[in-house]
Amino acid sequence: MKNIVILISGGGSNMAALVRAADREQWAKRYGAKIAAVMSNKADAKGLEFARAHGIATEVLDHKAYPSREAFDVALAERISAYDTPGQPALVVLAGFMRILTPAFVERFAGRLTNIHPSLLPAFTGLHTHQRAIEAGCKFAGATVHLVTAELDHGPILEQAVVPVLLGDTEATLAARVLTQEHLMYPKAIARLLQGS
């Protein structure tokens, strides 16, 4: 069985979409894969409650308890690797994990570390993507699922969803429409990865 470990920092709505899709589409039966754990760098991340309610193991590693970014990433990598099974390293899915990962961490999980970003990459890496798209006069915005590389919000694109920017859109209204698409596309991208593995 291939284990999936999801990393979150907050509400975990994309994580919840993945959990629901895994149940609905029977990932265990179809792909030999299951969501084995949800980890967070914040003990009060609301998504942890959802994971527990669905019988998924949860773990908290507070990044503030570590002397450096490197030390935190080493500890996090060790916890994730505990979910590897013989011949089946765990798939690591970033779902609103608000930490920039070190190159050593990214290298350790290369090819099995995914992220979802709320823009049509390579446009608008980093934060405040929706506001920046509106200010730039973009006619379209969206979201991207990609494999993670050492460069922030870069890496091979697995899936994209396009959302029109409407007249009078605010950061909040555009973000809400993009998020709806994220919840559809992230499970689809992960299912495709599992199919190919």
Give me the torsion for CA of 135, 141, 142, 143, rounded to 10°.
Answer: -50
Please give the DSSP secondary-structure letter assigned to residue 88. B
CA distance 4 to 1: 10
- Annotated active-site residue 183? The verdict is no
Query: From the candidates 117, 130, 146, 183, which is the catalytic residue?
Result: 117
CA distance 172 to 118: 12
25-64 CB burial, b ≥16 within 10 A, e <16: eebeeebebebbbbbbbbeebebbebbeeeebebbebebe
Tell me the catalytic residues: 117
